[in-house]
């Protein structure tokens, strides 16, 4: 299995595991969305809670330039560690939600 196929599999596995968690409030469904054609992988929360309609992107990961870009991560612990534990190299994880100049301050790839 080539690197990109491995990373695709890992990202889908991690998001699928997160989709099994049931939110503690409201009638909210957690849905993994896998767009392999464009290499975008999302975890969405949809439903209702006491404040109104919920339609939120919890996680957005994309595969770009042979790296795993974490574009959004609204989880408490962060998925970067899970990606590492599943075999994604630290040099291939980009925390895209940080400004480019701030990425050098992290232990992950700059781009």
**What is the b/e burial string over 4-30, where b = at least 16 CB atoms within 10 angstroms of the residue's CB?**
eeebbebbeebbeebbeeeeeeeebeb
- Ordered structural domains, the chain, with CATH: 3-103 (3.30.310.110)
Residue 22 has a pLDDT of 66
The pLDDT of 1-30, averaged and rounded, is: 88
Task: Tell me the whole-structure pTM to 2 decimals.
Answer: 0.91
Residues 6 or more apart whose CB falls under 8 angstroms from that of 99 comprise none
Residue closest to 33 by CA, chosen among 4, 12, 64, 9 = 12
- Looking at residue 26, its pLDDT comes to 67
pLDDT digits (tens, 9 = 90+) for 68-111: 999 999 998 899 999 999 999 999 999 999 999 999 999 999 99
Residues 21-54: tens digit of each pLDDT: 766 666 899 999 999 999 999 999 999 988 999 9
């Amino acid at each position: 299995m080539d690197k990109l196929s491995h990373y695709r599999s890992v990202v889908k596995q991690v998001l699928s595991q997160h989709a099994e968690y049931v939110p503690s409030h409201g009638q909210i469904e957690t849905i993994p969305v896998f767009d392999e054609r464009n290499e975008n992988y999302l975890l969405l929360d949809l439903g209702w809670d006491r404040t109104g309609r919920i339609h939120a992107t919890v996680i957005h990961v994309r595969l770009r330039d042979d790296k795993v870009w974490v574009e959004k991560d609204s989880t408490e612990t962060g998925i970067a560690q899970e990606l590492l534990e599943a075999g994604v190299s630290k040099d291939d994880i980009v925390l895209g939600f940080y400004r480019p100049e701030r990425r050098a301050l992290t232990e992950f790839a700059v781009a």
